[in-house]
């Protein structure tokens, strides 16, 4: 994967659960690129198919009377036009803007400039290098010397999800350059924001192959790249990940075979005790996802995580009207093992880890027209802020309840105290 000459993008509209199941069956195990596979009807499946397989696929749809339309009839031509429209002119280095997509060197130039401008608020840390030798940088933002805990936000894990690094940059911009508008509550945290986890893939997607998803390391058999969100060292290699080096969800030869995912893993482990909230920004689908992703069994904190997710979704809905769904990947999307959020909760024991799938736009969903970037990433930031606040309440609630009801002895004492108060009241 991936060659796009004469590839087509199909928008498919299944009307019944049976049609959805049929689509899911025939598309799995084939070399199709399923961009979006909803679990409920009235939503659009998006699948990219190469020239050799288009005829068979269309016949299958027609035989089952499934409605579809070809929304891009030639991906190569489509992207030639798209790139011509968005232009490849770079901005003044060091500036940020949200009406276009910044490239790797522009992103780094901005990070350096912003920390130079606000040295007392922020600093930059190079966490390591990508396979092709690019720096992977994070910005640390700290308003106070006694922060409540650390919030970690990463973006750009998947190369083609262009709104993701943009959203991380938007958050950096707001936390540092618009800090007068940042809620005082958010200033009580330390922030580590790493906007571009997969710079090699991102650059490749901008220059050679806009549908590229993975890293760019060379694999046995001559294919390139690993799906970084299948490469984390927790329940690695279970469902929803491929062991074929040429497939889009290739998990890699071993867990953390890739520098890029290992860097995130090391960061999370180093913050084991201090990080209270981890977000991995992806696109697209308008989902708020929480662990487990590798299994449909519920994690012990399922209810709390669901409350946090629903809080994020309703904050977005109230602010913008956009509808997000909160749930675990196997329920709302598909199972996927070896991902960042499962590692964050399963290995690094971070109490809350979320993947937000931003809203898609444009025919592919991954490449929103520049005019729509800002609305999409603003939505993401609203959801993330609301979830941080809710997580804080939940954690404190749990801790306080834990204090009162924690041990059997405490529960007994509490009971005795209630009975005693009641008796005293009656005697009064």
- What's the gap between Cα 15 and its chain centre? 28
d(CA 201, CA 207): 10
Residue 357 annotated in active site: yes
143 or 294: CB nearest ligand 0X9: 294
Does 231 participate in binding ligand 0X9 (rule CB under 6 A)?
no
109 or 288: CB nearest ligand 0X9: 288
Q: Which stretch binds ligand 0X9 (CB under 6 A): 60-68, 297-305, 339-347, 405-413?
A: 339-347
Tell me how far apart the terminal alpha carbons of the chain are, to the nearest angstrom: 80
Q: Which stretch binds ligand 0X9 (CB under 6 A): 267-275, 336-344, 372-380, 404-412?
A: 336-344
Q: Do 299 and 291 contact (CB within 8 A), yes or no?
A: yes
Q: Do 254 and 233 contact (CB within 8 A), yes or no?
A: no
CB burial of 310-322 (b: ≥16 within 10 Å; e: otherwise) equals bbbbebbeeeeeb
Does 336 participate in binding ligand 0X9 (rule CB under 6 A)?
yes
> Which residue from 252, 309, 329, 360 is in contact with ligand 0X9, where contact means CB under 6 A?
329
Does 367 participate in binding ligand 0X9 (rule CB under 6 A)?
no
8 is in the binding site of which of ligand 0X9, Zn ion, none (Cβ under 5 to 8 A by kind)?
A: none
- The residue annotated as part of the active site, out of 106, 260, 357, 379, is 357
Contacting Zn ion within 274-313 (CB under 5 A): 282
339 is in the binding site of which of ligand 0X9, Zn ion, none (Cβ under 5 to 8 A by kind)?
A: ligand 0X9
141 or 167: CB nearest Zn ion: 167
Does 229 participate in binding ligand 0X9 (rule CB under 6 A)?
yes
Does 339 participate in binding ligand 0X9 (rule CB under 6 A)?
yes
Contacting ligand 0X9 within 292-311 (CB under 6 A): 293
Residue 158 Cβ vs Zn ion, minimum distance, rounded to whole Å: 3
Does 355 participate in binding ligand 0X9 (rule CB under 6 A)?
yes
367 is in the binding site of which of ligand 0X9, Zn ion, none (Cβ under 5 to 8 A by kind)?
A: none
- Cα dihedral across residues 137, 346, 355, 15: positive or negative: positive
Q: Which stretch binds Zn ion (CB under 5 A): 159-167, 247-255, 302-310, 391-399?
A: 159-167
Residue 283 Cβ vs ligand 0X9, minimum distance, rounded to whole Å: 6
289 is in the binding site of which of ligand 0X9, Zn ion, none (Cβ under 5 to 8 A by kind)?
A: ligand 0X9
158 or 392: CB nearest ligand 0X9: 158
User: What's the CA angle centered on 16, arms 292 and 309, to 5 degrees?
Assistant: 30
> Which residue from 8, 158, 251, 367 is in contact with Zn ion, where contact means CB under 5 A?
158
CA neighbor of 313 nearest in space, from 386, 367, 254: 386
210 or 329: CB nearest ligand 0X9: 329
Contacting ligand 0X9 within 273-292 (CB under 6 A): 282, 289
What token pair was written down for 412? Answer: 């007994």
The catalytic residues are 357
């Amino acid at each position: 994967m991936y060659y796009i000459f004469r590839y087509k993008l199909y928008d498919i509209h299944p009307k019944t659960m049976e049609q959805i199941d049929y689509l899911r069956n025939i598309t799995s195990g084939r070399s199709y690129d399923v961009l979006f596979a909803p679990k409920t009807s009235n939503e659009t499946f998006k699948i990219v198919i190469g020239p050799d397989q288009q005829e068979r696929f269309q016949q299958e749809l027609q035989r089952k009377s499934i409605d579809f339309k070809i929304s891009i009839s030639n991906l190569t031509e489509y992207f030639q036009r798209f790139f011509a429209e968005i232009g490849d002119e770079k901005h003044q280095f060091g500036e940020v803007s949200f009406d276009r997509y910044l490239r790797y060197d522009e992103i780094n130039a901005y990070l350096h400039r912003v920390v130079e401008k606000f040295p007392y608020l922020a600093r930059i840390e190079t966490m390591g290098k990508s396979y092709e030798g690019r720096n992977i940088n994070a910005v640390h933002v700290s308003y106070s010397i006694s922060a409540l805990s650390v919030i970690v936000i990463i973006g750009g894990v998947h190369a083609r999800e262009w709104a993701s690094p943009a959203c991380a940059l938007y958050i950096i911009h707001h936390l540092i350059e618009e800090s007068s508008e940042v809620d005082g509550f958010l200033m009580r945290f330390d922030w580590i924001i790493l906007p571009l986890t997969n710079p090699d893939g991102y650059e490749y997607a901008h220059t050679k192959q806009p549908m590229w998803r993975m890293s760019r390391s060379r694999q046995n058999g001559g294919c390139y790249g690993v799906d970084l969100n299948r490469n984390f060292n927790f329940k690695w290699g279970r469902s929803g990940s491929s062991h074929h080096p040429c497939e889009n969800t290739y998990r890699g030869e071993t867990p953390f075979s890739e520098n890029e995912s290992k860097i995130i893993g090391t960061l999370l482990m180093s913050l084991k005790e201090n990080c209270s909230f981890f977000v991995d920004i992806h696109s697209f689908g308008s989902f708020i996802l929480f662990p487990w992703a590798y299994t449909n069994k519920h994690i012990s904190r399922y209810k709390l995580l669901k409350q946090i997710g629903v809080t994020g979704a309703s904050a977005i809905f109230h602010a913008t009207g956009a509808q997000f769904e909160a749930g675990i990947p196997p329920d709302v999307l598909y199972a996927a093992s070896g991902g960042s959020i499962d590692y964050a909760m399963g290995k690094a024991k971070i109490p809350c880890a979320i993947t937000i799938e931003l809203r898609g736009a444009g025919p592919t969903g991954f490449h929103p027209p520049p005019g729509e970037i800002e609305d999409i990433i603003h939505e993401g930031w609203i959801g993330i802020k609301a979830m941080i606040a809710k997580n804080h309440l939940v954690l404190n609630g749990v801790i306080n309840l834990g204090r009162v009801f924690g041990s059997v002895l405490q529960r007994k004492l509490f009971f005795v105290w209630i009975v005693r108060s009641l008796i005293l009241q009656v005697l009064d």
